[in-house]
Structure 1
Amino acid sequence: MPPAKRIRTRGRFHASFSLSRPSSPVTGETTTPAPASNVSQTSTFPLALQRTTNRKSTRRLRHEDYTIGWICALDIELAAARKMLDEEHQPLPQAASDPNSYTLGRVGERNTVIMVLGLTGTNSAASAVAQMKSTFTSVQFGVLVGIGGGVPSAKADIRLGDVVVCQPSKDCGGVIQYDLGKTRPDGVERTGFLNAPPKALLSALKSLNANHLKGRVGFLHHLAKLSSQSLFARDKAGPDVLYDPAYNHEEEEENCNNCKKEYSVRRQTRGEHVLVHYGTIASGNQVMRDAKERDKVS
């Protein structure tokens, strides 16, 4: 898998919070933000979905009508993002100096521009975001949404298919680049993290969390839009099996069908429901393929 992305801030553009559908926490692989082990709060919702479809549109808006930027790292994340749109808009012209590919549409009352990163790494990501801001000058906030590798712990029971929302703490802005820092005899000392999201998003995050705690949740309705495509079906991801961090998986294998079951970790059955976690998200350029190192940096 390609390395994780870290979006650097420019002006008021922020990688403010991320929803991730963790890949199997067996290997600790990371693409887009991976939830760290200090996730603080969780909310549970039954996975009872009804099929819905997004409405197509022939509307053509102006560049300045778009206020939200949605960043994806992978093409499969872009496909899922497009299914989340309530309405899709016609494309707009862009300068020859802007090589990005955009999908335009509406989510609720917000006109949103979706972009998938063409190259990996923080420098290329920062350049792509700057070009988006140059083309869509009214974009106020940016969200990085995608797949992440879970970091299971006694405090955070993260399972395959859960949702993770970045939430700042007193020690960091909510997203930490785990491979940025100083090398010490006892390991790497991390020296930086992203700025906290703007107050408007922090306020919205608190309202979202409060609604979840009261059992008022609307995202299952949006997830239902994916049920019409077999690519995003829960069964497509395979069984959620957690292995001991000391067990080394076969690099050539695409799944864990041939892994040694005696190294699997017994966990309490949780049932078919989605858990929403709020806390710190780790991200970086380095692909995380070692479970022991994953637990160490988290």
Structure 2
Amino acid sequence: MARPHQFRIEDYTVGWVCALPVELAAAAEMLDEEHDDPPQDANDTNMYSLGRIGEHNVVIACLPAGQMGTNSAAAVASQMRLKFTSIRFGLMVGIGGGVPGAGHDVRLGDVVISQPHSQHGGVVQYDFGKVGAGGNPTRTGHLNAPPTILLNALARLQANRLRGRSNLSVHLSPLVSRLPDFASPGAESDILFESTYDHVGGPRCEQCSRDKIVARTQRIGEKVEIHCGTIASGNRVMKDGVTRDALSSQLGGALCFEMEAAGLMDNFPCLVIRGICDYADSHKNKGWQPYAAATAAACARELLSVTPSAEIAKTRTVDEAINSQVGKSNLHLPDDI
């Protein structure tokens, strides 16, 4: 990639946050060109990758190694928006655990995008709330929906896919060709076990019973499907099929579980894009993580390709959007306040 002259901090309008090195690698591969690193600030612990995707100058930051969760994500995004004051919106891009059978045929390598659904704004923090009578949990407060400019772009992306005009494979192919470790493990490796059946043994479930595999219609080719709806976010890894299904049902059909997005939505207006790397059950492993990171990054690039730079220029900066909401947000406020 060509490295042009160093751009000004004010030239960057899109913030891209990821949580893992494999996600950072996939994000960097989506850049049309890379820019010089920005000067380091004493009070900013983030490390940034700068570049251009289409018409948009993008700043990418990854959570520190080993520091996952909503608090770490919030800290990274906060420092990013303080330094890059012209950012209009963010993208939280990476991997997540899919929920099969929630009204969507979610499979490994597919992508889930946060979209307002029912009473949720696209992301819900499932591990925050209060316990009522009978031990029943009640989630309190809500998280903001993605900014309108991103929901408009998402509608355009969905329409293009319905018309057969998706360029997702175009964005994905160069990455996979250059970095074979990011290739799909293949449909034969996409195995879904019954939610009540726990992992027995083997890094790829070699000792797990084949009789407990859920029969599903075979997909033709390796087409990546995009699903839009609620993403469940929390500070713990979801590794149980029964709990996964119960929480998804309580949330009106959550499609994905992950660990960072809830830390961003009210302080860094963004859209969450998750490549599905496992089924959030006891059989989860890392085999699909590189490919899922690649499909999520390619989807983020496609979303930016249908987002006009002129519309971004007319959109309020992140700081302006947040300041306009001061005193209005009810993030994490109990229902009886």
TM value normalised by structure 1: 0.77
Which structure shows the bigger proportion of residues in helix conformation? 2
The one of 61, 78, 86 equivalent to 1:138 is 86
- Say how many residue pairs are matched: 243
Q: Is the 8 A contact 1:177 1:192 kept in 2?
A: no
Distance 2:194 2:170 in 1: 35
Distance 1:253 1:209 in 2: 39
Structure 2 match to 1:231: 181
Q: Is the 8 A contact 1:176 1:280 kept in 2?
A: yes
Structure 2 match to 1:34: none
1:99-145 C-alpha deviation (Å, 9 max, x unpaired): 11111011111100001011223222212211111111111101101
Structure 1 match to 2:168: 219
Distance 2:2 2:232 in 1: 36
Distance 1:115 1:159 in 2: 28
The one of 190, 193, 207 equivalent to 1:243 is 193
The one of 194, 198, 209 equivalent to 2:158 is 209
Distance 2:152 2:82 in 1: 27
The one of 55, 63, 74 equivalent to 1:117 is 63
Moved over 4 A (4+): none
Structure 2 match to 1:195: 144
Q: Which of 1 and 2 has higher RCO (CA within 8 Å, sep 6+)?
A: 1
Percent identical among aligned pairs is 51
Q: Is 1:68 aligned with 2:14?
A: yes
Structure 2 match to 1:265: 214
1:150-186 C-alpha deviation (Å, 9 max, x unpaired): 1001621111111112111241110111111112325
Q: Is the 8 A contact 1:65 1:111 kept in 2?
A: yes
2:100 counterpart SS class: coil
RMSD of the TM alignment (CA)? 1.7
Q: Is the 8 A contact 1:176 1:192 kept in 2?
A: no
Q: Is 1:182 aligned with 2:130?
A: yes
Structure 2 match to 1:286: 236
Structure 2 match to 1:256: 205
Q: Label 1:237 to 1:177 Cα distance change in 2 as closer, same or farther (>3 A).
A: farther
TM value normalised by structure 2: 0.69
Distance 1:238 1:229 in 2: 21
Q: Is the 8 A contact 1:87 1:105 kept in 2?
A: yes
Distance 1:254 1:191 in 2: 38
Structure 1 match to 2:297: none
1:195 counterpart SS class: coil
Q: Is the 8 A contact 1:166 1:279 kept in 2?
A: yes
Q: Label 1:238 to 1:59 Cα distance change in 2 as closer, same or farther (>3 A).
A: farther
The unaligned stretches of length 5 or more in structure 1 are 1-54
Distance 2:181 2:141 in 1: 37
Structure 1 match to 2:75: 127
Compute the displacement of 1:253 (Å): 4.0
Q: Is the 8 A contact 1:182 1:189 kept in 2?
A: yes
The one of 90, 98, 101 equivalent to 2:44 is 98
Structure 2 match to 1:39: none
1:229-273 C-alpha deviation (Å, 9 max, x unpaired): 1211102797001001111114x7432222111111111111221
1:11-65 C-alpha deviation (Å, 9 max, x unpaired): xxxxxxxxxxxxxxxxxxxxxxxxxxxxxxxxxxxxxxxxxxxx33233101111
1:235 counterpart SS class: coil
Higher mean C-alpha deviation, range 133-142 or range 192-201 = 192-201
Q: Is 1:153 aligned with 2:94?
A: no
1:142 counterpart SS class: strand
Q: Which amino acid aligns with 1:230?
A: P
1:217 counterpart SS class: coil
Q: Label 1:165 to 1:121 Cα distance change in 2 as closer, same or farther (>3 A).
A: closer
Distance 2:181 2:5 in 1: 28
Structure 1 match to 2:315: none
Q: Label 1:176 to 1:63 Cα distance change in 2 as closer, same or farther (>3 A).
A: same
